[in-house]
């Protein structure tokens, strides 16, 4: 999904796939932390599910389709990278 998002012009977290032993492992650089001399700063963020007041469950999926998330993000003035 990260590669697809990048191909569509979305800002995605840096990532790469490596093999550890016999398994493929996806490494994703944290996008919500910034290293400083004093430690780490945390970026404030809100998830799409939180904006929609939806649960991440099979029964709630009709409330958080990608179309609904995009619509909600657009109304909130958020960028596509958020969605």
Whether 4 and 34 share a structural domain:
yes
pLDDT in the model for residue 81: 45
pLDDT on residue 27: 94
- Percent of the chain scored above 70 by pLDDT? 70
In this prediction, residue 6 carries a pLDDT of 84
Same domain, 6 and 40: yes
Range of the domain at 54: 46-83
CA distances from 77 to 15, 63, 73, 82 (A): 27, 20, 6, 10
Number of domains, the chain: 2
- In whole angstroms, how far apart are CA 19 and each of 2, 8, 26? 18, 26, 9
pTM: 0.47
Q: Which residues of the chain carry a pLDDT beneath 50?
A: 80-83
50 & 80 share domain: yes
């Amino acid at each position: 999904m990260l590669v697809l998002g990048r191909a569509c012009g979305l800002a995605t977290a840096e990532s790469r796939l490596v093999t550890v032993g016999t398994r493929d492992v996806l490494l994703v650089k944290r996008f919500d932390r910034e290293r400083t001399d004093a430690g780490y700063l945390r970026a404030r963020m809100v998830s799409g599910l939180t904006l929609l007041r939806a649960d991440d469950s099979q029964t709630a999926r009709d409330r958080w389709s990608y179309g609904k998330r995009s619509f909600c993000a657009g109304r909130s003035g958020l960028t596509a990278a958020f969605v």
